Structure 1
Amino acid sequence: MTTFTNDPTMPTPSFPGSHMVIDENYVFISGITVSDLSNGQAAQGDVKEETHLIMRAVSRMLEMEGGSLADIMRVDIHLKDLKFIHDMDGVYAEFFEPGRYPARTCTESPNICGGGHVEITVMAKRQLAKEQ
């Protein structure tokens, strides 16, 4: 059964969508920006801090479903300006075991919703699916 849910620690999405869609095998997390986080406004403009806040939110959301960052299979990252990719990468890499990084796409998106500099979307394998 597919479940459509929102993270209760975050504001309700301002778009017609859900923070997470969960089925028997995967957890899909919608693109998260600092404007999606209640404390995100203070970090806007600092790519490193935005990445930290977003990755911590993704981690918390996966933990709510019994998973962790190690379960992530694919990540899509949108940066307002690709000149900040090395700053973002330095923070992003801290959240994964070296050599065990998810498949990833990173693109430049100059008009990220909410005015942030980073948006991260995730697809993760569900722990329950692994145990069956």
Structure 2
Amino acid sequence: MATFTNDPTLPAPSFPGSHMVVDDHYVFISGLTVDDLSNGHSAQGDVKEETRLVMRALSRMLEMEGGSLADIVRVDIHLTDLHNIQELDSVYAEYFEPGRYPARTCTESPTICGGSSVEITVMAKRQLPATQ
């Protein structure tokens, strides 16, 4: 059965949704931007720093569920300008083992909620406790 939760370290979503939905097999994390982070506003407009802060927050959220970034199987990324994809990729790649990158979609979305330049959504395989 799925559980619908909000990360207590983040402001409550301003939309009708949850930060995370966890079922028996996966962790789904809603699109996250620096606007969603209490410390992210000063990074707006710096694609590398926005990416870094969002990836750190995603890592922490997955750790709350007993997982890590290595468990991510799918990523959706929205950039306000696809010309900045190399800046994003230079930081994004640091968070994964080379050659073990999740499936990914990256689209240009000229307007991202809150004025951010980067939004990242993930789906991760859930780490289940070992059976005894």
> Aligning the two structures, in what range does the TM-score lie when normalised by the shorter sequence?
over 0.9
TM-score (norm 2): 0.97
| Counterpart code for 1:8 | P
Deviation at 1:32, TM superposition (A): 0.1
Alignment match, 1:61: 61
Aligned structure 1 segments of 4 or more residues deviating by more than 3 angstroms: none
Tell me how far apart the structure 2 counterparts of residues 111 and 45 of structure 1 sit (CA, whole Å).
Answer: 12
Deviation at 1:104, TM superposition (A): 0.2
Structure 1 unaligned segments of length 5 or more: list them.
none
SS in 2 for 1:4: strand
How big is each residue's C-alpha offset from its partner over 1:83-109, in whole Å with a ceiling of 9 and x where there is no partner?
000000000000000000000000000
Question: How do residues 8-87 of structure 1 correspond to structure 2 at under 5 angstroms?
Answer: 8-87=8-87
| Counterpart code for 2:88 | M
Question: How do residues 105-116 of structure 1 correspond to structure 2 at under 5 angstroms?
Answer: 105-116=105-116
Deviation at 1:3, TM superposition (A): 0.4
TM-score (norm 1): 0.97
SS in 2 for 1:61: helix
Tell me how far apart the structure 1 counterparts of residues 87 and 97 of structure 2 sit (CA, whole Å).
Answer: 18
Number of aligned residues: 131
| Counterpart code for 1:30 | S
SS in 2 for 1:67: coil
Deviation at 1:65, TM superposition (A): 0.1
Tell me how far apart the structure 1 counterparts of residues 34 and 16 of structure 2 sit (CA, whole Å).
Answer: 18
Structure 2 unaligned segments of length 5 or more: list them.
none
| Counterpart code for 1:44 | Q
Deviation at 1:76, TM superposition (A): 0.2
Q: Confirm whether residue 128 of structure 1 aligns to residue 132 of structure 2.
A: no
Superposed CA RMSD in Å reads 0.9
| Counterpart code for 1:37 | L
| Counterpart code for 1:49 | E
State the percentage of identical aligned residues. 79
| Counterpart code for 1:71 | D
Tell me how far apart the structure 2 counterparts of residues 7 and 54 of structure 1 sit (CA, whole Å).
Answer: 14
Deviation at 1:48, TM superposition (A): 0.2
Tell me how far apart the structure 1 counterparts of residues 115 and 17 of structure 2 sit (CA, whole Å).
Answer: 19
Deviation at 1:50, TM superposition (A): 0.1
